[in-house]
Structure 1
Amino acid sequence: MYLRKIRLKDVKCFEDAELGFVDENDEIIRWTVILGENGTGKSTILRSIALLLAGSDASKGLEHEPRNMVRSGCMEGIIDAEVELSDKKRALKIGMRFLNKHLSEGWGALPGDDREIFEELLHEDYGRGNFVCGYGAVRIAAWGERIVQRGYPEKHQDPRIDRLQTLFNEEMLLGPANERLVGRGYGLRGIRSEGIHTDELRLKNAVETLSDILPSVTLKEINPDGVAIFNTPYGEGPLSELSRGYRDILTWVTDLMRHLIDAFPDSDDPLQERGVVLIEGIMLHLHPIWQQKVIDFLREKFPNLQFIVSTHSPLAAQSLNQNELVVLKRVEGKDKQKDTVSIDRFDLAPKSMSVDQILTSPVFGLTSAKSLEVQEKMGDFTKIKRKILRGEATENEEHRYRGLTRYFEEVHEAPGESFAQRDQFIRMENILRKLGREDLLEYPPIEALKSKRKSSKERKKDSGVMR
C-alpha cells in the first residue's frame, strides 16, 4: 500500500491543505521530508496519515480524544486521501471525520465503494500486507529499571495499533531491542545448527543490515542468551551499553524490521516489501556525519517503503532529490481571524545545494548562515563603510570601523563554504595588499577607502563632472 495524496480540512492548524505523493509521471514519491517551524503541523500530518491508513477501528485505539484534531472554532475536521494498493489497478478514496466528541467512521462521505473495500482488506489481512508503521519523536526502548518501573509494553492485540502507538503516546516504550532483534519464539541462539527455519534466516539477514548503518560499530553475534553483541572502537558490548544516538536509530530500525517480518510471513525478504513508514524527528540525536548518510542507507535497505518523515535538519534536506522536500509555512487564514498553514513541495533538488544555500533558501528562511553577532557587526561595518566613502563618518565611527576590521581579520570572517576556501581567500588578500590594492579587500582599511574616495573625486574633476 502507498499513499497518493492527503487533504486536511479544518484539522488542527490546517484550514484546507493538500499534499500529493506522486510525481509528474504518476509514480509514488518514496521519500517525503517535511520541514517547518515549530507549531506548523508536522506532527499533525503524520498522525492524520496514521489514523486514516490504520482504519476506523484501529483509529479509535490510537486517538482517544478526536475533538483535539478539530481546528479551533470549527464543528468538525475532515481528512480524506487516495491510497494505492499493491496491484496498482486502482486508487481507493478513503476519508475520516472528526466531531467534537466522537470519532466518526465517516468513510461513506466519499463516492463509490472504497470504504467497504479498504476496510475489508484491512480486516482480511489483519494488518498484514497493507503495511503502515510510525514512530513519534520519543523513541525509547525498555531497558532494566524502565521495565520494572513502568512495565514492559506488551504488543497490542491489533498489530495496526501496535505499529503506530508511539506517534500518539510519548509514554509508550518500544520493546527491548534485544527482544526485537531475537524475537519471541524465533530462537536465533541455534542459528548455525541444522534445521534452521526460514523465518530465522530472514530475521538473521535483517539483523545483519544493522551493521551498515552505524560508523565504527558492527554486529558481532547474537550470543547463546539471545543478546546482540556489537563491536565498537572501545570494545564489545550489548546494545543497551551503546550511546543514545546509536541506541535510538538501532531501536526504531530494529522495531521496523520486526514489524515487516511479522506483516509479511511468506516473503523471502520482508525488507523489500511495500508500505508506509512515518517518523517524527528522524534525525534526533544523530551526529551530522550520520545525518548526511542515514536517508541513503534507508533508501538502500528499504527500497520499496514510502517514508514520510519530519525534521529540522538541513543535512537531511541535503540528501533529497527534486520534489522530496515539503515546506510548511504559517500564513493568514481566509477568515483573517486566525492563521493557517500552507503545504508546498520544494521544486529544486536540495541534493545539489550547499548547507548554507539550504539554510538561506525559502526552506528555512534564514537571512544568513552566519551567527547573529556576526550579522550585526557586518551591518554596522557596511553602514560605516558607506559613510566613510561619502566623507560623512565621525571620529567615533572611524574608530568603530577600525575595530570591526580587526575583528573580521582575527576571526577569518571571509567568504567560502570551507576552511580551505577561506584560506585561499586570505592568501588572496595578502597578494592584494602587496600590490597596493587594499581597496579591493572584503574589509578594506579606512585609509584605502579614503584614498579611493579622493581618487574618485579627482577623476570626476578631470572629466568635468565636478564644478
Structure 2
Amino acid sequence: MKIKSLVIQDVGGISSLKLENLNPHLNIICGENGIGKTNIIESISACFTIYSPNELKKKADSNSGLIELNMTDINEGFKKIEYIVDVFYPREFNDNNTNYRTLYKFWENYSKFLMYFKADRFFSYQRIDSLKIHDDIEQHTKNNLKGVSRNNLKDWFIRNELLSKQAYTEDVNKKNIGYAKEFITLLNSNYSFSSIKQDMEIYINSPTGEIPYEYLSSGFKSCLFIMWGIIREIQIRFPNIEAKNFNGVIIIDEIELHLHPEWQNKICNVLKRAFPNTQFIVTTHSPHVIQTAEHNQVIALEGINGILNKKDLESARNGFSGWSIEEILTDVMGMRDLRTEWYRLTLSKFNTALDEENVESAKAIFSELETRLHPQSTELTLFRFQLKALTGE
C-alpha cells in the first residue's frame, strides 16, 4: 500500500491543501512552526483509524471537514476514500449510511498497513518482572491515530530473544528478532547486542564495555523505539511477514527528536535501508534531515490563513546534499533571518557610526563584534576593512 495524493479541506487549522504525487519511499514535510504539519499526518492517520470520533476536528468556522486520500494497493490497484470530519461518527452509524459502510470496509482492509509514531518518545526505566505472552491485534490496528505505544517494547524484545533459542519458534520470528538486533549496529557500528541476563535486562556492547540498554543515549533509544516498534507492529499485524518486506506506510512526527545533528543527517537513510518497501511520511524542523533528501522527497509548505501550498523547489532538482544548512533554513524552511536580535542591533549601530564618521563609536562596536563573531567570519573581515577605510589606519 502506498499513498499517492491527499486533499484536506477545513480540518483543524487547515482551510485547504492538495498534495499530489507523493514519493513512494520518503516524504519529508516541513514549514513554519504552526503551519499544520502535525495536522496533516493526523489527517492521514485518521483515515486508517476506526475509533477517532473526537480526536480530529473540523475548522472552527466550517460546517464539516473533508479528507480525500488516494492510494494504490499492489493487489487491487487504485483506491480512493473520503473521510468526513465532524459530520458522522461510528456512534451515528445506521444501515442507510452508505458512506460509513464504505469507510468501515476500508478500515477493515487497510488499517493494519499504517503505523504512526507520535512526537512523544521519552524513555524512562522499565523493570521487567514478567513477560507478556499475547498482544491483541485489534489494539494495534483499530486506533492508529493514537500512535504506536512504547509500552511493553522492552518486554517484546526480551520475550522474542529468549524464544528465538527454542526449536519450536517460527523461523520468521527468529529472523525478525535477529533483524532487531542488527539495528543496533546499523545505527552505530561501535555498538552491538550482547545478551539478556538473569536480571531480565538487555545488555549492549559499547566502546566503554558492556552496558544495560537503558544506559544508551536518549537519541539512540529514540531510534530503537522507532525501528523496534516497527518490527513489533509488523510481527503482531502480519505474523508471517519478515519485517524488512513490509509494504505499507509509516508516519513519524518530528523525526529529529532527541537526535544529535549527525544522527538527524542519517536517520532517514537508515530507515529506508532497513525497510526498503515502506513509504515513510515524516515531519521535521531540522535542516539536517532535509540535507540528505532528494528533490521530490521534500514537501515544504507555505501559506496564509490556512490555505497551504507546496513550495516550488525546482532549484534543488538534483537534491539537497550540496546545500548548506543556512540555504535550507531560508529557501526551504522559510526562516527570514538567521542572525540574533543582538547581532542585528549591533550591526545597525556599527553602520550608523560609519555613516556619521564617528570613529570612537565605530571602534568600540567593532571591538564588541570581534569578541563575539566566529574567528573565521567573512563578515568580520568586511567590518575590519570598513573600519580601516574610516580611520585611514
Cα displacement (A) at 1:320: 1.0
Cα displacement (A) at 1:276: 0.5
Seen in structure 2, the aligned counterparts of structure 1 residues 380 and 345 have a Cα distance that, compared at 3 Å, is: same
Give, as a single letter, the amino acid of the residue that structure 2 aligns with 1:374: Y
Matched, 1:19 2:4: no
Cα displacement (A) at 1:289: 1.4
Cα deviations by residue, 1:230-282 (Å, 9 ceiling, x for unpaired)? 12334323323333222222122211111122333333x32222110111111
Which gives a bigger RCO, structure 1 or 2 (Cα 8 Å, sep 6+)?
2
Cα deviations by residue, 1:54-109 (Å, 9 ceiling, x for unpaired)? 4xxx2xx2x2415x51001111001111011023x631111111125746789966
| 1:64-79 correspondence runs (5 A) | 64-65=53-54, 69-79=57-67
**Is 2:243–2:275's contact at 8 Å kept on the other side of the alignment?**
no
Once residues 107 and 99 of structure 2 are traced to their aligned partners in structure 1, the CA distance between those partners, rounded to angstroms, is 19
Secondary structure of the corresponding residue to residue 319 of structure 1: coil
Give, as a single letter, the amino acid of the residue that structure 2 aligns with 1:405: F
What is the TM-score of this pair, normalised by structure 2?
Answer: 0.84
| 1:39-50 correspondence runs (5 A) | 39-50=34-45
Once residues 142 and 345 of structure 1 are traced to their aligned partners in structure 2, the CA distance between those partners, rounded to angstroms, is 42
Matched, 1:404 2:365: yes
| 1:264-275 correspondence runs (5 A) | 264-267=238-241, 269-275=242-248
Once residues 123 and 363 of structure 2 are traced to their aligned partners in structure 1, the CA distance between those partners, rounded to angstroms, is 56
**Is 2:58–2:85's contact at 8 Å kept on the other side of the alignment?**
yes
Matched, 1:35 2:22: no
Matched, 1:4 2:21: no
Once residues 273 and 73 of structure 1 are traced to their aligned partners in structure 2, the CA distance between those partners, rounded to angstroms, is 41
Once residues 225 and 77 of structure 2 are traced to their aligned partners in structure 1, the CA distance between those partners, rounded to angstroms, is 35
Once residues 194 and 61 of structure 2 are traced to their aligned partners in structure 1, the CA distance between those partners, rounded to angstroms, is 57
Secondary structure of the corresponding residue to residue 252 of structure 1: helix
State the partner residue of 1:176: 152
Matched, 1:351 2:321: yes
Unaligned runs of 5+ in 2: none
Matched, 1:443 2:371: no
Once residues 168 and 236 of structure 2 are traced to their aligned partners in structure 1, the CA distance between those partners, rounded to angstroms, is 21
**Is 2:366–2:383's contact at 8 Å kept on the other side of the alignment?**
no
Cα deviations by residue, 1:318-370 (Å, 9 ceiling, x for unpaired)? 121102122233414xxxxxx544344633232221111112224232323x3
Once residues 202 and 226 of structure 1 are traced to their aligned partners in structure 2, the CA distance between those partners, rounded to angstroms, is 22
Matched, 1:91 2:78: yes
* Percent identity over paired residues: 19
Seen in structure 2, the aligned counterparts of structure 1 residues 190 and 363 have a Cα distance that, compared at 3 Å, is: closer
Aligned CA RMSD, in angstroms, stands at: 3.5
Unaligned runs of 5+ in 1: 23-27, 148-152, 168-172, 333-338, 388-392, 417-421, 430-440, 453-467
Cα displacement (A) at 1:303: 1.3
Cα displacement (A) at 1:202: 1.6
Secondary structure of the corresponding residue to residue 157 of structure 2: helix
State the partner residue of 1:364: 334
Matched, 1:326 2:313: no
**Is 2:141–2:237's contact at 8 Å kept on the other side of the alignment?**
no
**Is 1:65–1:101's contact at 8 Å kept on the other side of the alignment?**
no
Secondary structure of the corresponding residue to residue 443 of structure 1: helix
Instruction: State which structure, 1 or 2, has the greater radius of gyration over its C-alpha atoms.
Output: 1
Once residues 225 and 281 of structure 1 are traced to their aligned partners in structure 2, the CA distance between those partners, rounded to angstroms, is 34
Matched, 1:228 2:213: no
Cα displacement (A) at 1:163: 4.9
- The aligned length equals 384
Cα displacement (A) at 1:161: 3.0
Once residues 303 and 286 of structure 1 are traced to their aligned partners in structure 2, the CA distance between those partners, rounded to angstroms, is 22
State the partner residue of 1:25: none
Once residues 357 and 372 of structure 1 are traced to their aligned partners in structure 2, the CA distance between those partners, rounded to angstroms, is 20
Matched, 1:206 2:179: yes
Once residues 137 and 170 of structure 2 are traced to their aligned partners in structure 1, the CA distance between those partners, rounded to angstroms, is 26
**Is 1:10–1:74's contact at 8 Å kept on the other side of the alignment?**
yes
